[in-house]
């Protein structure tokens, strides 16, 4: 065999070995590449599986992170089908996260719309559980319903439809409780309490109006009508648990029943014609004279009171700050023994007396009481004190500019009204009876001086002002005195004088 042949054989062997090595390397590389591809796909599928697990547990941010990881692997694999599916995973997660953000910002309507969009994406995926999205939509809708209910209730409060407003606040409370929404529970509870307070105020005002109308009928001897209105007032006072006030009204009803029985008994003793003639004569006499023609025994009683009262000395300078002390306690008004002395029924004439001194026009109590007794100014012969309108007429007759407001707290600010007057007379009902007080505004220090009132003296002591005025109690606000004194039920008359 020649040298050429030998070289050819050697070269051929080298080529074969080289080809074999290349084939072996390519084979190994192919298997390594396939193994890597399989690992990438396995990792991608693991991230997709993790996405499902997190998403179905409502761990949406974690699910989104897994989707991003899977997307990176799908891009490396150039797997367009997987990329399309993963894009849906991402859009779904992002919509849910955006809905959660809107929900946390109380933008519930936008949150619902976003969750609905998320449901569209979720419906495109197989084998995915997404019930929690429906739950979030339901919760957001309940928040929307809560807000709408509260707004409707607030509108009804403004429209004074109080019972319907309370019902809506109660509905809102049920919704907030179902949501465990603490702020909503507090808001709805506050709304219920506010509605109940306004209902209480309205019902109390209604009862007071019935009571006042009943008293008007009572003092005009129309006892049937009086009992009808007083009974309406009584029912409401019991409804509101205002038992002292109800007891006082109950007593007047019983008295009206007694007086009605006596009235009917007297009417049966006379012929109908005589009753009509007597009534006509009474009306004629009232038309002819401003002051009624009192019976002789009543005139004697009035003169007796006048002489007795005139015998009591007053300096016409010192204001009365305690009707339970002489000389104020000794003044008599009316004829019912034990119930006609100043300590019991004197607050009305004392208020007039103090106001006249403040105005620089003092008048002896005997003259004031005589004016009330002869002018129809006493309530049930003075047992219930003095009519507010009688006090008003006294000052009008003296030439003063008088403004009289009934139930002033309903429409007026007491402090402002008194500041704009020279002196004011305020009447209120407390848990035991009614009472008149005189109030003088002191512009130099912005305080009010109240005369003949134990509640004001108590407030003055609480403010540390008990020695700032003698007599009289210095207070910071009449509004606060009435509002913050539990024993005071309501004001029923404010007379401001200029």
**Average pLDDT across the chain, whole number:** 87
- Read off the pLDDT of each residue in 300-310 and give the average, rounded to a whole number: 76
Alpha helices in 105-161 (DSSP H): 108-123, 131-158
Residue 262 has pLDDT above 90, yes or no: no
The pLDDT of residue 349: 92
- How many Å apart are CA 237 and CA 87, to the nearest integer? 70
pLDDT in tens, 216-259: 998 888 999 999 999 999 999 999 999 999 999 999 999 999 99
pLDDT in tens, 452-484: 998 999 999 888 887 665 689 999 999 999 999
pTM of the model: 0.45
Residue 286 has pLDDT above 80, yes or no: no
pLDDT over 70 percentage in the chain = 90
The residues facing 404 across adjacent strands are 495
227-to-213, 249, 257, 492 alpha-carbon distances in Å: 10, 10, 8, 21
Radius of gyration in angstroms for the set of CA atoms belonging to the chain, rounded to a whole number: 46
Helix (H, G, I), strand (E, B) or coil at 234: helix
Helix (H, G, I), strand (E, B) or coil at 222: coil
Residue 300 has pLDDT above 70, yes or no: no
In angstroms, how far is CA 39 from the centroid of its own chain?
70
What stretches of 192-253 adopt beta strand conformation (E)?
none
pLDDT band for position 354 (50/70/90)?
very high
Strands 434-442 and 488-497: unpaired
Burial (0-12, 13-18, 19+ Cβ within 10 Å), 315: exposed
Residue 183 has pLDDT above 80, yes or no: yes
Residue 27 has pLDDT above 80, yes or no: no
The pLDDT of residue 246: 93
pLDDT band for position 81 (50/70/90)?
confident
Residue with more model confidence, 379 or 208? 208
- How many Å apart are CA 154 and CA 165, to the nearest integer? 7
| Sign of the dihedral through C-alpha 377, 381, 382, 385 | negative
The pLDDT of residue 22: 80
- How many Å apart are CA 450 and CA 319, to the nearest integer? 11
397 membership: H or E segment, kind and range? helix 388-397
pLDDT band for position 446 (50/70/90)?
very high
Instruction: Compute the 3-state secondary structure of the chain and give helix, strand, coil in percent, each to the nearest 5.
Output: 70, 10, 25
- Read off the pLDDT of each residue in 405-409 and give the average, rounded to a whole number: 87
- How many Å apart are CA 449 and CA 338, to the nearest integer? 31
CATH of domain 297-497: 3.90.70.10
Residue 370 has pLDDT above 80, yes or no: yes
Q: Are 423 and 438 in contact (CB under 8 A)?
A: yes
For the record, the structure tokens of 38 come out as 């399989």
pLDDT band for position 134 (50/70/90)?
very high
Domain ranges, ordered by start, for the chain: 3-129, 297-497
For the record, the structure tokens of 126 come out as 């197989």
- How many Å apart are CA 5 and CA 109, to the nearest integer? 92
């Amino acid at each position: 065999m020649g040298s050429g042949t030998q070289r050819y054989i050697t070269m051929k062997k080298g080529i074969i070995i080289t080809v074999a090595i290349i084939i072996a390397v390519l084979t190994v590389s192919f298997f390594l590449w396939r193994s890597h591809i399989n690992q990438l796909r396995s990792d991608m599928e693991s991230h997709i599986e993790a996405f499902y697990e997190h998403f179905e547990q409502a761990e949406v941010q974690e699910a989104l992170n897994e989707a991003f990881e899977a997307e990176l692997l799908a891009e490396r694999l150039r797997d367009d089908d997987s990329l399309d599916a993963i894009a849906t995973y991402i859009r779904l997660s992002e919509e849910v996260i955006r809905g959660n953000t809107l929900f946390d910002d109380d933008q519930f309507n936008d949150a619902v719309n976003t969750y609905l969009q998320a449901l569209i994406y979720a419906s495109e995926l197989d084998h995915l559980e997404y019930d929690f999205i429906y739950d979030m939509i339901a919760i957001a809708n309940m928040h929307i319903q809560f807000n709408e209910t509260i707004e409707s209730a607030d509108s009804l409060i403004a429209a004074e439809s109080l019972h319907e407003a309370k019902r809506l606040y109660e509905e809102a409370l049920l919704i907030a409780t179902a949501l465990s929404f603490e702020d909503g529970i507090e808001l709805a509870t506050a709304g219920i309490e506010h509605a109940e307070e306004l209902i209480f105020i309205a019902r109390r005002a209604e009862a007071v109006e019935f009571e006042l109308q009943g008293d008007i009928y009572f003092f005009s001897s129309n006892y049937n009508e009086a009992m009808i209105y007083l009974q309406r007032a009584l029912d409401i006072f019991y409804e509101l648990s205002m038992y002292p006030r109800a007891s006082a009204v109950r007593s007047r009803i019983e008295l009206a029943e007694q007086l009605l029985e006596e009235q009917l008994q007297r009417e049966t003793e006379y012929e109908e014609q005589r009753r009509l003639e007597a009534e006509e004569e009474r009306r004629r006499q009232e038309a002819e004279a401003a002051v009624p023609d009192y019976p002789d025994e009543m005139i004697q009683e009035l003169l007796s009171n006048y002489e007795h009262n005139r015998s009591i000395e007053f300096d016409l300078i010192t204001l009365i700050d305690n009707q339970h002390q002489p000389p104020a306690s000794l003044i008599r008004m009316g004829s019912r023994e034990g119930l006609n002395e100043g300590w019991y029924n004197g607050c009305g004439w004392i208020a007039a007396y103090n106001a006249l001194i403040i105005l620089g026009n003092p008048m002896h109590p005997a003259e004031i009481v005589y004016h009330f007794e002869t002018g129809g100014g006493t309530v049930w012969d003075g047992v219930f004190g003095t009519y507010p309108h009688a006090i008003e007429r006294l000052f009008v007759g003296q030439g003063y500019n008088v403004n009289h407001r009934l139930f002033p707290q309903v429409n007026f600010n007491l402090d402002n009204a008194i500041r704009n007057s020279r002196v004011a007379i305020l009447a209120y009902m407390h848990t035991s009876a009614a009472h008149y007080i005189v109030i003088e505004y002191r512009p130099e220090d912005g305080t009010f001086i109240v005369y003949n009132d134990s509640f004001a003296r108590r407030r003055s002591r609480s403010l540390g002002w008990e020695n700032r005025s003698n007599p009289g109690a210095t207070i910071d606000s009449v509004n606060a005195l009435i509002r913050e004194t539990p024993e005071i039920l309501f004001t029923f008359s404010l007379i401001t004088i200029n």
